[in-house]
Structure 1
Amino acid sequence: MIQWLIKCLFLITKPDLALGVEDNGIGIAPEYKEQIFDVLKRFYGGDLYQ
């Protein structure tokens, strides 16, 4: 049986919010990370997304 684990982390320091998500899945191949997370960069602006 597969044990799934998902962690959601939040840090609130007004006016900022940091969100982290971690799981024990297969992950994302390094060559696709920029392509996948580019959506967040465009949504929030490049200077706000890390």
Structure 2
Amino acid sequence: MNSRWETWGLAFVAIALLLNMLADESPLEYVALVFALAGLVCAVGFLVNRRRKDQE
């Protein structure tokens, strides 16, 4: 079962990839970077939650 962290992380990374494909030397690249960083934060949250569940 997917956690919220995993679902949101995949969504942010997909949006970042789409924006990166659309942006050609434009400010959209910075927006794509923000979405990619949000996806990275979600991935870290997913791993932290998984580790907590394993310890219980």
Query: TM-score scaled by structure 1?
Result: 0.29
Query: TM-score scaled by structure 2?
Result: 0.27
Pick 1 or 2: higher relative contact order, CA cutoff 8 A, min separation 6.
2
Between structures 1 and 2, the one with greater helix share: 2
